[in-house]
Structure 1
Amino acid sequence: MKKMFGACLIGAALGLTALSGAAHAKTGATLAITLEPPHLDPTAGAPAAIDEVVYANVFEGLTRIDSQGLVKPGLAERWVIENDGLTYRFILRKGVTFHDGATLEASDVKFSFERAIAETSENAQKGLFSAIASVEAPDDRTVILKLNRKEGLLLWNLGWGDAVIVDPASAETNKTNPVGTGPFKFEDWARGDSIKLVRNPGYWGKASSLERVTFKVIDDAAAQVAALLAGDVDAIPNIGAPETVAQFEADPRFTVLKGTTEGETILSMNHRRPLLQDVRVRKAIQHAIDRKAIVDGAMFGFGTPIGSHFAPHSPAYTDLTGVTPYDPAKAKALLQEAGVAEGTKLVLKLPPPTYARRGGEIVAAQLAEVGFEVEQIPVDWGQWVSEVFKGEHDFDLTIVSHTEPLDIGIYARDDYYFGYENPAFKELMAKIDGVSDPAQRNTLYKEAQRILADDAVNGFLFQLAKVAVIRKELKGLWTNAPIQANDLTAARWE
């Protein structure tokens, strides 16, 4: 009854013919975001919520990833790769300054990369820098990276939020007062409410047409919709109420953008648990899952079923959903073979996003049908990071979308949160790292996907869609999300 009542309220609001909010001056934009970032330093944290505020807006890297997923020059205006493929020479742009007035120099790049590589580094993606043997700054505008092996994705890796360049003078305070080189400067953070950015008048590139940007934290999907209808926000970059999309499409005041993300949404299994170390149990869990029912029931059809950890829009993708198809009878047989008793309990911890909470209800019901008792525990984002992702690893199952681009390499990491260990997979990923030919890399990526599917490492659910609802006059927001970002570089009112 409660859910039905909420849906009716949303439907009634969508039927309004005029916005209740006053017309805005159209010099700024307000975006609704679901998750408040724990801090604002993309080089010191894993949550996508950090990059979704500051990547390309406040912080920039030597390269940048554009809306099509292509590598473009960033703070480096050009680069040269030596014939041996082990030396990269970057030439920095002239006239770039940090928001605190400091001039960008090669020594800042050297500092940023050495800080990321350091043993004490908080960088969540240290693997991006694993091929870098040394960083040299022979003059103020030249950076030389010497590699210990060939890394075909180096330029792509340097475009991630984890590889942005920071000013040594402000690096330690970027979590609360971020200082970058981007088109927007940090202005204010009202915890639990909003993060405000203002246009950087000294930006080296084309100035933004927006004077300010506000990221409004609204964790309730229905409240986001209400705020958009009331004129309190101008866009929901990732709508949490997919059931309202059809109604928004019929409303001439708004534009609906349907795109793709890099978000492999998975039912992660804790391989440290003796029960889940048995591949028969993991396969049984996968056979118990009806992916289409989850996509339809939790996401109203927005999402593509996956059978391994890889994005369907990638040329290296292979469809492995048939390896462990929905088959409850097969699941029960495997559990019986493994000696798993009826009523065995599993703890499912669910972070705040809609896909996790709604998807968790469906997954729990599906697992109950094959004999498991599933305890669903909703947790906030901070709890999820500390209890699931970091040292405690106190969970059996969790649902999370891994939104980092081309991140299948996480399965080769030591002591990663789901605890998968496979030396053959690690060897394969090391081999991929040294291959620069795209066709050869794609062949190896397909082999890697097959290993993960055959090992039933996790419950591979679906690729998260990106559905944005935007006031029709606001242009320039991304349709797809090839990287974790709300890049507002080209945002404008028309």
Structure 2
Amino acid sequence: MKRMFIAAAVAGAILAPFSAMAAKDSVVFAQQLEPPGLDPRTGAAAAISLTTLYNVYEGLTRIDGDGMVQPLLAKSWTISDDGLTYTFKLEEGVKFHDGADFDSSDVKYTFEANKAEGSQNKRKDRFEVMESIETPDANTVVITLKERRPDLLEQLGESTAVIVDPATDANNATAPVGTGPYKFESWTKGDNLKLTAADTYRDKDNLPIKEVTIRFIGDGTARLAALLSGDVDATDVPPELLSNDALKDGYNVIIGNTNGEVIVSTNNANPALSKLKVRQAIAHAINRQEVIDGAMFGYGTPIGTHFAPHHPDYVDLTGTYPFDPELSKKLLAEAGYPDGLELSFKLPPVENYARQGGQIIAAQLEKAGFKINIENVDWPKWLDEVYKNKNYDLSIVAHVEPMDIGIYTRDNYYFNYKNPKLNETVAAAESAASPEERTKLLQEAQKILAEDAVNGYVFQLPRIIVARQGLNGVWKDLPLFATDVARMSWSD
């Protein structure tokens, strides 16, 4: 059935009128998941930043496609010798989409709101480390830290640090207002999001793309069909469809890296899962390569801890608990479950790594003596039951934020994992005085997580996207989840 559908899509693409193709000043993207809201500071879903970061919202800095820090709302900065004080000079003449002027007071408001009691910012800790935020004039911000943060400039380019307009902040989840090149036009739930070039944007005359449509198409075959018919210009494509002959001419198949660690997330508060031997049994039961081959058609890099393999500080710890289902059974029995252990396994609606990968991992766990009850859930239910209320035993998800090993130190995080030594190690790494010291501490933290088998560490999520030839500026790698349309253009 899938092959027939693709063949029909190919035929449709051949017969599609030229007018179906994108105009040279517009672009249509398709993505699998629809964002649950449009404020990237507070929502956990990567789909939020993928649609809004650098398009609607901007931060003081920007991360480019090579992972390098670039100026954005801050045109320059200086750092004190002790690494505690950052002085930012802001771009002048910047306006929010509602016409309000942007200045240093907006930075102060945003960052203080991010660290305030009751803040829902995903990385609240990054702003709590700010001792003071001073605004000596409209175009200068001086941030003094309680302790060193060598990664601060990178962190200020992420979705959690975008600058918002105080007057419209409360409505950003549904009617976002930023300083970016594109303003929010409309959101048809279940179908698409539309952005248009903002008249208020400081460099509006140099925007090659004037209109942006992001379509939400859950099925991978349907996304491919939309691409081949000319209705979509770029989309992520399931790896099993990349061999389609229709992609050989007129399309660029882009394979790269992301910072997404695919893990079997584990509720460490569950009485059974709080036992190290049970978690070790899970780790020994997982055959990473079988998951990569079966769910991702060979795309993906095995991981043994929560860290990106392409990062220079990564340690290969995949051998900590090698695949050994017999040892898994033995550990399960030693932990008090000689007749097996029944666990729920909630799978979010992501085609390959979650739904297909989850089925493969469930079968592997069954062979090792576990009894797995799979429950397929939609994204809002996953966010509510697993992420927010921690009502689960096992789940599977890709954690996509860069350098996010610090999530294991958060109080009340959904893993329910507590380890004072890890907290101390990560905190020391974040404020390390030298790169060498930081590397040593980050590698120690990786080993703690691997040996504790906090989660089942499976593989690094690849970047797989197909774009119509002529669309320039599509990132090969995703150092963070963003679709930087302002720096894209069409060529003949």
TM-score range, shorter chain: over 0.9
Matched, 1:86 2:84: yes
Q: TM-score, normalised by structure 2?
A: 0.96
Matched, 1:485 2:482: yes
Kindly provide the amino acid, as one letter, of the partner of residue 269 in structure 1. Answer: T
Give the match for residue 130 of structure 2. 132
Give the match for residue 228 of structure 1. 227
Instruction: Quote the Cα distance in structure 2 between the aligned partners of 1:91 and 1:19.
Output: 54
Residue 275 of structure 1: SS of its match in structure 2? coil
Give the match for residue 428 of structure 1. 425
Matched, 1:275 2:272: yes
Kindly provide the amino acid, as one letter, of the partner of residue 76 in structure 2. Answer: R
Question: Residues 370 and 270 (structure 1 numbering): CA distance in 2 closer, same or farther, change over 3 Å?
Answer: same
Matches within 5 A, 1:34-433: 34-205=32-203, 207-236=206-235, 238-239=236-237, 241-247=238-244, 251-354=248-351, 355-390=353-388, 392-433=389-430
Query: 1:19 offset after TM fit, Å?
Result: 5.3
Give the match for residue 452 of structure 2. 455
The percentage of counterpart residues that share the same residue type is 48
Match of 1:10 among 6, 11, 19: 6
Query: 1:197 offset after TM fit, Å?
Result: 0.3
Question: Residues 19 and 342 (structure 1 numbering): CA distance in 2 closer, same or farther, change over 3 Å?
Answer: farther
Kindly provide the amino acid, as one letter, of the partner of residue 191 in structure 1. Answer: K
Residue 42 of structure 1: SS of its match in structure 2? coil
Task: Check conservation: 1:260, 1:480, Cα contact below 8 A.
Answer: yes
Deviations 1:76-105 (A, max 9, x none): 011111122211111101111111111111
Instruction: Quote the Cα distance in structure 1 between the aligned partners of 2:348 and 2:160.
Output: 22
Question: Residues 132 and 249 (structure 1 numbering): CA distance in 2 closer, same or farther, change over 3 Å?
Answer: farther
Query: 1:27 offset after TM fit, Å?
Result: 2.1
Kindly provide the amino acid, as one letter, of the partner of residue 471 in structure 1. Answer: R
Instruction: Quote the Cα distance in structure 2 between the aligned partners of 1:101 and 1:92.
Output: 18
Q: TM-score, normalised by structure 1?
A: 0.96
Kindly provide the amino acid, as one letter, of the partner of residue 416 in structure 2. Answer: G
Instruction: Quote the Cα distance in structure 1 between the aligned partners of 2:341 and 2:432.
Output: 45
Task: Check conservation: 1:19, 1:229, Cα contact below 8 A.
Answer: no
Task: Check conservation: 1:267, 1:400, Cα contact below 8 A.
Answer: yes
Task: Check conservation: 1:29, 1:212, Cα contact below 8 A.
Answer: yes
Kindly provide the amino acid, as one letter, of the partner of residue 287 in structure 2. Answer: D
Instruction: Quote the Cα distance in structure 1 between the aligned partners of 2:217 and 2:318.
Output: 34
Residue 243 of structure 2: SS of its match in structure 1? helix
Residue 153 of structure 2: SS of its match in structure 1? helix
Query: 1:130 offset after TM fit, Å?
Result: 2.9
Instruction: Quote the Cα distance in structure 1 between the aligned partners of 2:336 and 2:7.
Output: 49
Instruction: Quote the Cα distance in structure 1 between the aligned partners of 2:181 and 2:200.
Output: 8
Query: 1:22 offset after TM fit, Å?
Result: 3.6
Deviations 1:214-255 (A, max 9, x none): 00011111111111111111110x32x210112268521110
Query: 1:336 offset after TM fit, Å?
Result: 1.5
Kindly provide the amino acid, as one letter, of the partner of residue 16 in structure 2. Answer: S
Residue 115 of structure 1: SS of its match in structure 2? helix
Q: Where does structure 1 lack aligned partners over 5 or more consecutive residues?
A: none
Kindly provide the amino acid, as one letter, of the partner of residue 173 in structure 1. Answer: N
Task: Check conservation: 1:151, 1:436, Cα contact below 8 A.
Answer: no
Number of residue pairs matched by the alignment: 487
Instruction: Quote the Cα distance in structure 1 between the aligned partners of 2:396 and 2:32.
Output: 16
Deviations 1:22-59 (A, max 9, x none): 44333211100111111111122121111000000110
Residue 368 of structure 1: SS of its match in structure 2? helix
Deviations 1:292-313 (A, max 9, x none): 0000100111110100000010
Give the match for residue 470 of structure 1. 467
